[in-house]
Structure 1
């Protein structure tokens, strides 16, 4: 696609190219290429390696961390019912965070070289190549960086004994989000609920990218008025 005299070459690493699209980046990135073969991001093999993550890495890395943080609150005297409540609170906080990040950060409009490049790395690549299974879940290093300010905020807003369990709930919610997201793209749902959720999410990719920001649930889309309208077909006369 040509833009302002610049043409993206899909056979070459994309990260250094997308910034040159400038104002046309928004249109380009929302024209998906439906292929399981992902693009190359960087010329460097080392950088390229760190852009790819298998889905099963997420639970292997983060489930033990969740258990450790829950054990911290348990060791400070919280009972099992209290821990369940605290972890559930963290999961609920995550669902709102998931919606907010997806709507206001992942879909922020950009138009200069560096913001286009950062957006492509963060989320644009997923919309351009939605079936790239190796770039669907967050790399653990990126998740760890984002988790630091979340942990710091929870420590400020809660008590020393409740903060670890609430943070564990946020991490658990994140794990559910990443695995659900992967499943919606690459799984074959059999239940009505999962079929509807997959249809709802793919609608966000291929029909209305400015609506349907929930991944694990459409709850907050309904609350904030961003639930996509049903598809209507006109009868021929």
Structure 2
């Protein structure tokens, strides 16, 4: 005889699955939220687990009794996807709070698709709650509103709210923000949940094309310059290797100083001018406002190479003996290329190697926990020397 309870449970689970499918649409394995009239009420954590295990496109977590589908977010989680994978279909309140997430991190839940609510307190609940949210009041807690024209970005703002169909630079210039408004905008990380959209910096198509740099462009440009300098060297293999390493080390201290004193100049002094805001936003502010923007990490190749050839190269050759200058510069440029690529993949991949996995977590702490420390990107050495190392 078939157990009627099992049939009833299977029927309930199928009904919830159908409700989720009505709320969602699947496009190239990417689940995106569409306008919904209601949320699902789950009677137990077991129901959440059953639903999550029944559909590979659902990656569910429960936070503060809200059930979220993190399918579109898991790969860009600052700590890597592996961390979230171990908590799928579970309540994450305790590990979330123990990790010491910031207010900004908690606000990211406003951008993640909300599936429903956990009705009853499970027996093995991690965290007790004094109140429950009835399903009939849970219309859509995911957003205060959706910003049209964002092409994938879902942002809840209380301060500056630009039009994402237009270039941000010109809007920032016209907005005449106070310095506090500007800093609030760039210091609140905003998640990219739909990879089809990209932040528009400029209305001019040529300028916009110049900042949309693929990582392969950096390899092609900088490797050409590196090989040219190596080819010109008239040194022994030993001297070439030592000079190359020396140039690379010069880059690491340059990287630290640039990141700390130029890119984060606002930590030292933030003049209340539009010129400062534009300069800061172009150089680094945009990257902190949208840390997961695909085209927001790699340095525009053409302007950077022109600067290197016209400014860095002649100045270096005045200081470094001629026979060593080319190969030292090659090491310096190799360091810069390494920085650019490592920085990109820290943001847009889940490293399996222990060193790079720890480096990713370290750099994400700089973005999501403490922007006043952790300036090293390819290594922590200078953070340790100058006592700006982030502590776990």
On whether the aligned pair clears a TM of 0.5, the verdict is yes
1:72 aligns with 2:239: no
Q: Which of 260, 285, 295 in structure 2 is aligned with 1:103?
A: 260
Count, aligned residues: 225
Partner of 1:89: 246
- Aligned with 1:164: secondary structure? helix
Q: How does 1:1-237 map to 2 (within 5 A)?
A: 1=157, 7-19=161-173, 20-23=176-179, 24-35=181-192, 36=195, 37-74=197-234, 78-109=235-266, 110=270, 111-147=272-308, 148-230=310-392
Q: Secondary structure at the match of 1:133?
A: coil
Question: 2:28 — aligned with what?
Answer: none
Residue-by-residue CA offset, 1:101-135 (whole Å, 9 max, x unaligned): 00000011133111101111111111111111122
Instruction: Using the TM superposition, give the Cα deviation of residue 156 of structure 1 relative to its aligned residue in structure 2, in angstroms.
Output: 1.5
Question: In structure 2, what is the Cα distance between the partners aligned to 1:152 and 1:195?
Answer: 38
* Partner Cα separation in structure 2 for residue 221 and residue 149 of structure 1: 27
SS at match of 1:40: coil
More deviation in 143-152 or 190-199? Answer: 143-152
Does the 8 A contact of 1:32 with 1:129 survive in 2? yes
- Return the alpha-carbon distance in structure 2 between the equivalents of residues 30 and 131 of structure 1: 14
8 Å contact 2:290–2:296 — kept in the other structure?
A: no
Q: Give the conservation status (yes or no) of the 8 Å contact 2:222–2:337.
A: yes
Q: CA deviation at 1:136?
A: 1.2
SS at match of 1:59: helix
Using CA pairs below 8 Å that are at least 6 residues apart, which structure has the higher relative contact order? Answer: 1
**Runs of 5+ in structure 1 lacking a partner?**
231-237
Q: Which has the larger radius of gyration?
A: 2
User: Alpha-carbon deviations, 1:159-204, whole Å to 9, x = none?
Assistant: 1111101000000001100010011011121121111000000111
CA RMSD of aligned residues (A): 1.5
Q: Offset of 1:34 from its aligned partner? A: 1.0
Unaligned stretches of 5+ in structure 2? 1-156
Q: 2-side partners of 1:86 and 1:202: how far apart?
A: 32
3-state SS, counterpart of residue 200 of structure 2:
coil
Structure whose residues are more often helix by fraction = 1
Structure 1 segments of 4+ aligned residues over 6 angstroms from their partners: none
8 Å CA contact retained: 1:94, 1:174? yes
Query: TM-score, normalized by length of structure 2?
Result: 0.55
- TM-score scaled to structure 1, two decimals? 0.90
> Which residue of structure 1 lines up, in the alignment, with residue 3 of structure 2?
none
- The Cα shift of 1:22 comes to 3.1
> 1:30-88: per-residue Cα shift (whole Å, max 9, x none)?
111110432111122222111110011111111121011011113xxx10010001111
